[in-house]
Amino acid sequence: MKLKLATLALTGLMAAAPAMADLVFPSLSYRTGPYAAGGIPFADGYADYFTLLNERDGGIGGVMTKVIECETGYNTEKGVECYEATKGEGSLVYQPLSTGITYQLIPKVTADGIPLHTMGYGRTSAANGKVFSHVFNYPANYWDGASIAVNHLLDINGGDLSGKKIALVYHNSAYGKEPIRTLEELSAKHGYELTTIAVDHPGQEQKSQWLQIRRERPDYVLMWGWGVMNQVAIQEAANIRFPMENFIGVWWSGSENDVLPAGDGANGYKSLALHGTGSDYPIYADIQKYVVDAGKAAGAGDQIGTVLYSRGLYAAMLAAEAAKKAQEIHGTADITPAMMRDGMEALEITAEILEANGLPGFGPEFKVSCENHGGPGLGMVQQWDASAKKWNIITDMIQSDKSVIDALVKEDSEAFAAENNIEMRCN
- Which residue's CB is nearer to other proteins, number 10 or number 20? 10
Positions in 351-380 near other proteins (CB under 8 A)? none
- Which residue's CB is nearer to other proteins, number 143 or number 384? 143
Question: Residue 329, exposed/middle/buried by CB under 10 A (0-12, 13-18, 19+)?
Answer: middle
Pick from 61, 64, 80, 157 the residue near other proteins by CB under 8 A: 80
Q: Taking a C-beta distance cutoff of 8 angstroms, is the pair 249, 258 a contact?
A: yes
**Separation of alpha carbons 60 and 50, rounded Å:** 9
Q: Taking a C-beta distance cutoff of 8 angstroms, is the pair 228, 35 a contact?
A: yes
Q: Taking a C-beta distance cutoff of 8 angstroms, is the pair 235, 264 a contact?
A: no
**Separation of alpha carbons 276 and 270, rounded Å:** 14
Q: Nearest distance from residue 99's CB to other proteins, in Å?
A: 7
**Separation of alpha carbons 377 and 397, rounded Å:** 10
Stretch near other proteins under the rule CB under 8 A, chosen from 106-114, 210-218, 322-330, 348-356: 106-114
Q: Nearest distance from residue 21's CB to other proteins, in Å?
A: 20
Interface with other proteins, residue 267, by CB under 8 A:
no
Pick from 62, 113, 420, 426 the residue near other proteins by CB under 8 A: 420
- Which residue's CB is nearer to other proteins, number 205 or number 355? 205
Torsion sign over Cα 116, 340, 364, 373: positive
Cα 201 to the center of its chain, rounded Å = 19
**Separation of alpha carbons 233 and 229, rounded Å:** 6
Positions in 394-413 near other proteins (CB under 8 A)? 412
Helix (H, G, I), strand (E, B) or coil at 404: helix
Positions in 171-230 near other proteins (CB under 8 A)? 172-175, 177-178, 180-181, 198, 200-201
Q: Nearest distance from residue 169's CB to other proteins, in Å?
A: 16
Pick from 18, 419, 423, 427 the residue near other proteins by CB under 8 A: 419
**Separation of alpha carbons 236 and 229, rounded Å:** 10
- Which residue's CB is nearer to other proteins, number 300 or number 388? 300
Of 254, 210, 255, nearest to 236 (Cα)? Answer: 210
Spell out the SS3 assignment of 251-298: HHHCCHHHHHHHHHHHCCCEEEECCCCCCCCCHHHHHHHHHHCCCCCC
Residues in binding contact with other proteins, number by CB under 8 A: 53
Pick from 104, 157, 267, 279 the residue near other proteins by CB under 8 A: 104
**Separation of alpha carbons 389 and 139, rounded Å:** 27
Q: Nearest distance from residue 232's CB to other proteins, in Å?
A: 17
Of 215, 263, 259, nearest to 234 (Cα)? Answer: 259
Pick from 56, 108, 296, 324 the residue near other proteins by CB under 8 A: 108
Positions in 119-148 near other proteins (CB under 8 A)? 123-125
- Which residue's CB is nearer to other proteins, number 40 or number 148? 40
Stretch near other proteins under the rule CB under 8 A, chosen from 108-116, 224-232, 312-320, 366-374: 108-116
**Separation of alpha carbons 170 and 225, rounded Å:** 6
CA distance readout (Å), 151 to 41, 98, 195, 222, 245 = 29, 26, 18, 13, 15
Q: Nearest distance from residue 173's CB to other proteins, in Å?
A: 6
Positions in 20-79 near other proteins (CB under 8 A)? 29, 31-32, 36, 40, 69-71, 73, 75-77
Q: Nearest distance from residue 219's CB to other proteins, in Å?
A: 25
Cα angle 172-176-177, degrees, rounded to a multiple of 5: 90
Stretch near other proteins under the rule CB under 8 A, chosen from 110-118, 307-315, 387-395, 396-404: 110-118
**Contact residues: other proteins, CB under 8 A:** 6, 9-10, 12-14, 29, 31-32, 36, 40, 69-71, 73, 75-77, 80-81, 84-85, 87-88, 99-100, 103-104, 106-108, 110-112, 123-125, 172-175, 177-178, 180-181, 198, 200-201, 299, 412, 419-421
